Amino acid sequence: MCVSKMEGLYIKFGFKAIPYEAMPRYFQRISNIFRIADVIRHSGEELLVMKME
């Protein structure tokens, strides 16, 4: 998992962000919690779940 602004760094090492539908249920729950917290924080960031290709 990483914050969206760090995606470029992870891509350099062979990782790829996976869509919400492809995430295991655990990561879907964490992603939902992050979205709720972001509504409160107003940071505009997104949590990405990365998978090595």
Q: Tally Cβ neighbours within 10 Å of residue 19.
A: 7
- Return the pLDDT at 41: 81
What digits encode the pLDDT tens for the residues 4-24?
889 999 999 999 999 999 999
Kindly state the average pLDDT of the residues 48-53. Answer: 91
Domain range for 41 is 2-52
Identify which of 26, 29, 35, 31 has the alpha carbon closest to the alpha carbon of residue 48: 31
List, in order, residues 6 or more apart from 6 with CB less than 8 Å away.
none
Domain count, the chain: 1
Q: What is the pLDDT of residue 46?
A: 84
Residue 17 one-letter amino acid: A
CB neighbourhood size of 25 (10 A): 7
Look up the pTM and report it: 0.75
Tens digits of residue pLDDT in 22-49: 999 999 999 999 888 888 888 778 889 9
